Amino acid sequence: MSKKESFIKGTLILAAAALVARALGIFQRVPLEHIFDDTGNAAFVQANNVYLTLLTLATAGIPSTLSKMVSERYALNRPGEARQVYRAALYFGAGIGVVMSAILYIAAPVYARHTGVPESTSAIRAIAPALLLFPTIAMMRGYFQGRNNMAAGGISQIVEQIARVATAILLAFILMRQGYSNSVMAAGASFGSVLGSVAAFGVMIYFAVKLRREDAADRLRYGQEEAKLPMLGIYKNIFSLSIPIVLASMTIQAVYMIDSSLVVPLLEGQVGQADAQGLLSILGQKAQSIAGIPPVLAIALSTSLIPVISAAYARRDEKHLKRQMTMALRIAVLTGTPIVLPLVIAAYAVNGLLFKTPEGSGIVALLTLGTIFQISMTTSNSILLGMGKSRISMFYVLAGITVKLVGSIVLSRFIGIYGIILATALCFIVITLLNLRLLKSIVPFEIMGGRWGRYGAAVLAAAAVGFGLNELGLLLTGAMPDRIAYLITCLLVGGGVVLVYLVLLIVLGALSRQELESYPGKVQRLLRPLMKLQPARVRGE
């Protein structure tokens, strides 16, 4: 296999790994929600969110920075320097892993008590050891990507997720059958992340040993030169590039952390501690799981254009840059909508199908509706990072997080949990608007141009059809078991909304033939037959 073919194969594995990880992360919570009561769900949500926030803070951005530094040095025939950079990153990963793990374990009871879910202490402590290995794993993945071996990181990610999810569900089930409390069961589920980290580390060690053997030939070729890079200089380069990316990358996780920390303290005075924990359970286990579905496809499609945008910006090719920026944002909007709409309209059926009861469907619907802004925020963030504007993007993220924090405190006093969810949408909207303002100052562009009206008409018509199908489907609950009726309703709404939306996008001219050519091949093959429905008048515009 040629190096080019190997690189392409590795890239595909990495992309597949990201999708598998997201899917498993979303659907892991479905069986756990059935096993736990409100206290167990709230404890697991808190442990998972605080862990992921610390992990993002410790590692996000550094692997990509390390990858860049390593690839540059190998391109300049300086493998000794690349190895020294890698060793420095490993030292940092090991050190920050110990520090973060210790902080999480020691601070667990304090955090749990002050956030209104003292039962989460055991779950937080159970997940803390995972931080010992994950920072080091992240550094290893970055190094392998710098060596054009993305398959190693992709395979380790898939193995990690499978081990984590399987262990979490199995331990929770065993502890339930043994009659343990929900706080202990949540700790068992949280411990799945520890075994996931061990599995991922084992995979990375395997690839590291294999790579070391291959490097023996390189050492003969380049000699046994010793790099003389100062350690402080290496860390300065890593952190100066990584810190803005870290803060820009942790927006969504920071929002979830704010929610798991503030929902109970903000709402227990209104509804009582038990009901506040129940609302946190619904928000964390149900709503966040379902709301995690729409961004997967849209962000994958739009961010596939980011390297092209980065190259066009480096060449100062304004015409090409404008076209690709427009296309990335347009793809994000157009592909996110037909996933968001059915999930919002059929929230009651989706909620009832996946979880124990349809309770909290309004929370699910509202949080999922806000993901359209999450999609646009993430896509515009990626474009800014591709253009080297990560420092400015960092300040925009901080502004959005401030809006989220203040908005949650203020709005929760008037409309409770729905105010906290609206504050999340406001956070995404603020960051999106700031990002778009900056992008337009660099290259003037329009996402939909004069076609917003046509797009809006397609959305409204599809929503109306979906609403009618949803009401029709829910009538079946009186004639058959509820879950079967919910399944039929989900299929009816999903199929009807997507079909009407796609047909009207094409018939009304919101999607043109020229734009379709820039979409991925599978998407083109899916939509090309529908293009025959586009009137000649619209086609010629």
Q: Domain residues of the chain, as ranges?
A: 1-249, 250-447, 449-539
99, 248 contact by CB (below 8 A): no
Task: Report the distance separating Cα 301 and Cα 539, nearest Å.
Answer: 24
Q: Which residues contact 391 (CB under 8 A, 6 or more apart)?
A: 244
Structure-block tokens of residue 332? 């994000």
Res 2: pLDDT: 45
Res 8: pLDDT: 45
Torsion angle of the four alpha carbons 106, 109, 115, 120, in this order, in degrees rounded to the nearest 10: 110
Classify each residue of 401-435 as buried b or exposed e, where b means 16 or more C-beta atoms within 10 Å of its C-beta.
bebbbebbbebbeeebbebbbbbbbbbbbbbbbbb
Work out whether the CA dihedral 329, 332, 333, 335 comes out positive or negative: positive
Query: Tens digit of pLDDT per residue, the chain (541 long)?
Result: 444 444 445 445 655 666 677 677 777 888 999 999 999 999 999 998 888 888 887 776 788 788 878 887 877 778 888 888 899 999 999 999 999 999 999 999 999 999 999 999 999 999 999 999 999 998 998 888 888 777 788 888 888 889 999 999 999 999 999 999 999 999 999 999 999 999 999 999 999 998 887 776 656 655 555 557 778 888 888 887 787 777 777 888 889 999 999 999 999 999 999 999 999 999 999 999 899 888 876 666 555 555 567 667 777 888 888 887 888 888 888 888 999 999 999 999 999 999 999 999 999 999 999 999 999 998 898 888 778 787 888 899 999 999 999 999 999 999 999 999 999 999 999 999 999 999 999 888 888 878 899 999 999 999 999 999 999 999 999 889 999 999 999 999 999 999 999 999 888 888 877 777 766 666 677 777 877 777 766 665 5
Res 299: pLDDT: 61
445, 325 contact by CB (below 8 A): yes
Tell me which residue of 52, 3, 53, 56 sits closest to 25, measured CA to CA.
52
Task: Report the distance separating Cα 228 and Cα 538, nearest Å.
Answer: 64
252, 370 contact by CB (below 8 A): no
Task: Report the distance separating Cα 362 and Cα 416, nearest Å.
Answer: 13
493, 443 contact by CB (below 8 A): no
Res 243: pLDDT: 78
Res 7: pLDDT: 44
Cβ atoms within 10 Å, residue 27: 15
Half-sphere exposure of 233 (CA within 13 A, CB side): 7
